[in-house]
Amino acid sequence: MNDQASQPFSRTHCEKPKDCARTARSARRLLGYVFLLAALTFLSGVQPAAIGAASAQPASAPLAGADLAPALALLGTDSYGDTDAALGRLAVSTNTRAADIVEAIRDGRLLFDPQSKAVFLRMPDGAVTDAATGAAVGAPPAGLRPVRVNNRVRRAIDAAAGALALLSPDNQKRLAAAAAVFKSRDVSALPILDAALAKEGDPKVKTALEQARAAIIVASQSVSEPERVSAARLIAARGDQDALAILSSLPPNSPDAVKAAAADGIEAINRSLAMWAVAQNVWYGLSLGSVLLLAAIGLAITFGVMGVINMAHGEMVMLGAYTTYVVQEIIRTSAPFLFGWSLAIALPLAFLFTAIVGIIIERTVIRFLYGRPLETLLATWGISLILQQAVRSVFGPTNKEVGAPSWMSGAFDIGQMSITYNRLWIIVFSLLVFFALLLVLKRTALGLYVRAVTQNRRMAGAMGIRTGRIDALTFGLGSGIAGIAGVALSQIDNVSPNLGQGYIIDSFMVVVFGGVGNLWGTLVAAFGLGVANKLLEPFAGAVLGKILILVLIILFIQKRPRGLFALKGRAVEA
Amino acid sequence: MLELLGRAAKGLGVLAATAALAGTIGTASAQETIKVGILHSLSGTMAISETTLKNVMLMLIEEQNKKGGLLGKKLEAVVVDPASNWPLFAEKARELITKDKVAAVFGCWTSVSRKSVLPVFKELNSILFYPVQYEGEESERNVFYTGAAPNQQAIPAVDYLAKEEKVERWVLAGTDYVYPRTTNKILEAYLKYKGVKPEDIMINYTPFGQSDWQTIVADIKKFGSAGKKTAVVSTINGDANVPFYKELANQGIKATDIPVVAFSVGEEELAGMDTKPLVGHLAAWNYFESIKTPENDAFIKQWQAFMKNPKAVTNDPMEAHYIGFNMWVQAVTKAGTTDPDKVIATLPGTKQPNLTGGVSEMLANHHITKPVYIGEIEENGQFDVVWKTENLIPGEAWSKQLEGSKDLVADWVQLNCGNYDSVKKTCLGSVTK
């Protein structure tokens, strides 16, 4: 048991695990005392300075850079702990340069000289200035290094930037600042928070500021009990997971009244969150359903309408995604201003490209195999391998980055439910594709021919329809739609040669479950399976959930071999 | 099930093509050469990671030939493609050893592929260098593990989070197969030993290639709102990572809220992602491309020249092959022969400078000493090292955290045994649990 790595607290040899645990424990206890001591000395050093800075606020305009000196001294030491402490001081600084310095740390523009520990600020235009005074430095010393940032420092930056922006004239900035302080719960920000609250006019910002204040004082020992209780109630009224986090992390020595108020709040929040969770799961289900629909809808044509067991369907999706990648690469290098439109440009191109590939496959391979499902299966499987390896040889085996236009990133909240934009657009898009396809099949001449040929080939031929041509076009249509699906899926999945593999099983599942040859069946099956999967997942887990769905489908197909919406009448036999 | 069937059948399909490929390379030897087998998938799901390793091996062999080869002979690479198909790995390994008579094999990525070739290497008494971080619980005479054992990656990462980020609540998320399952078992035991309560640990497994992470990310968010600092320890493998990180970004989980430390995400994987929303998420490795040493600079330059791509990135398993290959070269030179028994006996104790400024040593348990680095993702797709171990950590074959493995010792020098039970004082031999 002398494992140096796994037990950083104990560097001693010990024979038995028990001994080892004991040494580790005592060592930890010792370390704990040391830390406590260090923390005490540290606090006693910091606190007066912080308070001093805060109370000096109304006194006089600070000398250029004078009160920044202790913070800047800490920034030159290249230690995350010191940077953290420095940010704590900057947060309560009244110096107008503090915000610039915090921002410079965030952007990696604050530099220090490892030798002299002097700190410099590089302006966005590249000029190097003295961090304390803002005066330009003619010849900055060589070997300047940026002040390094890790998660701990990033948190301190957010807190400091928040505290410093509390008095900003911009409503949006104050709102963001209040949210930052709510998150950091930094006690030292309290005086500024009070000052900001006193002169706040905007009701929305005021609520946010009050919540931020409540988040700080609810855990504070130096505030009266009734005030803490009302703070707990105020936080509980937010009703979200952040509120839950604050209420459940109250210090254990809080008065009972505060604890009780927090417990009530937690219970109420949990109740409302549980209700929202159902809505959230249904939404996730619809979102998964839309992905299934997109992946399956092309197959609903090639397999559902034409009866071709098309194992290369997934690769058509993959080709569509790669088309998006190529379009974006071209836009990036030659016309960056078009980037917001890259997906719109990729859509028709992906459709055309995959449709042409589909038509070539149909004309060269599949048309010789109509009526021989096993051979079709093997041939299309082979094609799928060829396409995969071809893409791998051309683009390499690694994932390609497909960027998201800004209108597709981020999320918004409805109640306690968060809805991500990319998923929302994919749902909308999948429905658009579905109804467009329905329109093509039901309302256009091509659609009429397709239906005629698939329902009764010989009769259609006798009526003068060139059945071979229609076969090729139908297969092209199905492939083209798979390509369009690829454009959408490039936004949520990997763009790699394996992209298609992940969807082929799901696609067949949806088409077979929905009823072969019925587009509406595909729609209902996709969304049904999506929602069922997502409602099962929280209980059964992702792995078991998927298995359960498969078992249910197998049982269902046993009962109804033709799927949910079976075609009836003579068309079935054709 | 269907997927497995599909993969197996697909492998068969590629078999013919790869056999032809291997044949042409194999027969090109006119004068006498020393053959080196390269057993990495060049097609199928694992091609994404393994193709790079094949290339780095070709580069290392070319480099060695420029220096005059080995024992006065030129080295010759024999490349085969096991096509991400686990049984095919065993077949290809057998082909390399019996037909091509290779002196050593460098290969495998997934644990299941390693397990599949183990019996072949034992039976035919050859040497395998395995370059990927793995779950431990294994030490074979014919295998040299140049990737990280759990104590060289997973456990230091957890220690870092507990100490530096003050994490008290843990999500162990992984893909559902042997490496994440064993690693998470070790981590769970370790965390409990460190005093973490069972209700503060959430374990979640997802299928290979999981692309819909909405529910799981929402669960993580919920788990993280219990008022204690929460982190995700991710053993999510391969392709599933991109949609996972995309979902994290979209649901607004930042590294400052819930950091994710990953054991399978390196420079190569980040190349396919928009890294801006990922800044601050972590990875634990024994090597990062961003580490500044003269050796590493030279290696990166050589690699980019070899790939004719100034943007080609390097990663941890590549360094493992670099160390393993050079150790093998040293051992063969010292032994004066490529005879497997002699090389296996010579390898322990071999020292090889790694790319990050230290000197790695092959240990008696066939694992090596490695430094551990924790890096945070930067906007440019590289890692900023925020923490590292002072010394090199010796790799442990058997976890100290698991019941049934903590008494086992692997020592091929003194004990000539991979799983010596230090309590019963016997070698368990090939009877592994």
B113 vs A518: CA distance, rounded Å: 43
* Averaged pLDDT for residues A31-42: 49
pLDDT at B174 over 60: yes
A420–B272 CB contact, under 8 Å: no
Give the nearest partner residue to A5 out of B14, B152, B207, using CB atoms: B152
Q: Which CATH number fits domain B151-290+373-394: 3.40.50.11440, 3.40.50.2300, 3.30.450.40, 3.30.110.30?
A: 3.40.50.2300
A125 vs A5: CA distance, rounded Å: 45
* Averaged pLDDT for residues B406-412: 90
* Amino acid at residue number B148: A
pLDDT at B137 over 50: yes
Flag whether residue A447 sits within 8 Å of chain B, measured between CB atoms. no
Helices A421-443 and A256-299 pack at an angle, to 10 degrees, of 30
Q: A441 to chain B, minimum CA–CA distance in Å?
A: 31
Flag whether residue A186 sits within 8 Å of chain B, measured between CB atoms. no
A189 vs A209: CA distance, rounded Å: 11
B211–A492 CB contact, under 8 Å: yes
pLDDT of residue A305: 82
pLDDT of residue A66: 57
Sort strands B383-388 and B393-394 into parallel, antiparallel or unpaired: unpaired
pLDDT at A39 over 90: no
pLDDT at A25 over 80: no
Flag whether residue B216 sits within 8 Å of chain A, measured between CB atoms. yes
pLDDT of residue B398: 93
pLDDT at A440 over 90: yes
B2-148+295-369 shares its CATH topology with B151-290+373-394: yes
Q: How many CA atoms lie within 13 A of A538 on its CB side?
A: 19
A478 vs A500: CA distance, rounded Å: 15
Give the nearest partner residue to B400 out of A3, A149, A494, using CB atoms: A3
- CB-neighbour burial class of residue B334 (10 A; exposed 0-12, middle 13-18, buried 19+): middle
A385–B14 CB contact, under 8 Å: yes
Low-confidence winner among A8-12, B117-121, B275-279, B421-425 (lowest mean pLDDT): A8-12
Q: How many CB pairs under 8 A join A and B?
A: 184
pLDDT at A569 over 90: no
pLDDT digits (tens, 9 = 90+) for B152-165: 999 999 999 999 88
Average pLDDT, chain A: 83
Dihedral Cα B25, B31, B33, B38, nearest 10 deg: 0
* Averaged pLDDT for residues A329-344: 91
- CB-neighbour burial class of residue A11 (10 A; exposed 0-12, middle 13-18, buried 19+): exposed
Confidence bin at B203 (pLDDT 50/70/90): very high
- CB-neighbour burial class of residue B403 (10 A; exposed 0-12, middle 13-18, buried 19+): exposed
- Other Cβ atoms closer than 10 A to B410: 23
A486 vs A323: CA distance, rounded Å: 9
Confidence bin at A414 (pLDDT 50/70/90): confident
A150–B274 CB contact, under 8 Å: no
pLDDT digits (tens, 9 = 90+) for A40-86: 444 444 433 333 343 333 333 444 455 788 888 888 888 888 898 88
Short-list A468, A444, A477, A466, CA closest to A302: A477
pLDDT of residue A360: 96
* Averaged pLDDT for residues A460-481: 92
- CB-neighbour burial class of residue A568 (10 A; exposed 0-12, middle 13-18, buried 19+): exposed
pLDDT digits (tens, 9 = 90+) for A348-403: 999 999 999 999 999 999 999 988 889 999 999 999 999 999 999 999 888 888 88
B59 vs B38: CA distance, rounded Å: 12
Rounded to a whole number of angstroms, the CA Rg of chain A reads 32
pLDDT of residue A32: 53
pLDDT digits (tens, 9 = 90+) for B331-363: 999 999 999 999 999 999 999 999 999 999 999
pLDDT digits (tens, 9 = 90+) for B242-279: 889 988 988 888 899 899 999 988 888 888 788 888 89
Confidence bin at A14 (pLDDT 50/70/90): very low
Q: Quick one: residue B273, left, alpha or beta (phi over 0 = left, psi -120 to 50 = alpha)?
A: beta
A172 vs A455: CA distance, rounded Å: 61
* Averaged pLDDT for residues B63-83: 94
pLDDT at A449 over 80: yes
Q: Dihedral sign for Cα B321, B324, B329, B330, please.
A: positive
* Averaged pLDDT for residues A9-17: 42
pLDDT at B195 over 80: yes
pLDDT of residue B12: 46
Give the nearest partner residue to B227 out of A249, A420, A423, using CB atoms: A249
Q: A36 to chain B, minimum CA–CA distance in Å?
A: 15
In chain A, residues with a C-beta closer than 8 Å to the C-beta of B43 are 388-389, 392
Terminal alpha carbon distance of chain B? 26
* Averaged pLDDT for residues A538-552: 89
- Other Cβ atoms closer than 10 A to A370: 15
B365 vs B244: CA distance, rounded Å: 36
pLDDT at A26 over 50: yes
A494–B272 CB contact, under 8 Å: yes
Short-list B262, B231, B229, CA closest to B245: B262
Percent share of chain B, pLDDT over 90: 69
Q: Looking at residue A303, what DSSP letter applies?
A: I
Low-confidence winner among A22-31, A83-92, A187-196 (lowest mean pLDDT): A22-31
Residue A358 DSSP SS3: helix
In chain A, residues with a C-beta closer than 8 Å to the C-beta of B215 are 281, 284, 534, 537-538, 542
Low-confidence winner among A195-209, A397-411, A464-478, A557-571 (lowest mean pLDDT): A557-571
pLDDT digits (tens, 9 = 90+) for A111-141: 888 888 888 888 888 888 888 888 888 788 8
* Averaged pLDDT for residues A502-527: 90
pLDDT at B26 over 70: no
B80 vs B95: CA distance, rounded Å: 9
Flag whether residue A418 sits within 8 Å of chain B, measured between CB atoms. yes
pLDDT at B130 over 70: yes
pLDDT at B19 over 80: no
Confidence bin at B432 (pLDDT 50/70/90): very low
Terminal alpha carbon distance of chain A? 74
B185 vs A110: CA distance, rounded Å: 43
In chain B, residues with a C-beta closer than 8 Å to the C-beta of A493 are 211, 242-243
pLDDT of residue B246: 87
Residue A461 vs residue B44, higher pLDDT? A461
Give the nearest partner residue to B225 out of A245, A403, A495, using CB atoms: A245
Q: Quick one: residue A517, left, alpha or beta (phi over 0 = left, psi -120 to 50 = alpha)?
A: left
Just give the CATH number of A276-573. 1.10.3470
A43-82 burial code (b ≥16 CB/10 A, e <16): eeeeeeebeebbeeeeeeebeebebbebbbebbbbeebeb
| B2-148+295-369 topology per CATH | Rossmann fold (3.40.50)
Flag whether residue A497 sits within 8 Å of chain B, measured between CB atoms. yes
Average pLDDT, chain B: 89
Confidence bin at B16 (pLDDT 50/70/90): very low
Q: How many CA atoms lie within 13 A of B396 on its CB side?
A: 24
Residue A21 vs residue B324, higher pLDDT? B324
pLDDT of residue B123: 95
Domain boundaries, chain B: 2-148+295-369, 151-290+373-394
CA distances from B88 to A418, B7, B12, B37, B258 (A): 45, 11, 8, 15, 40
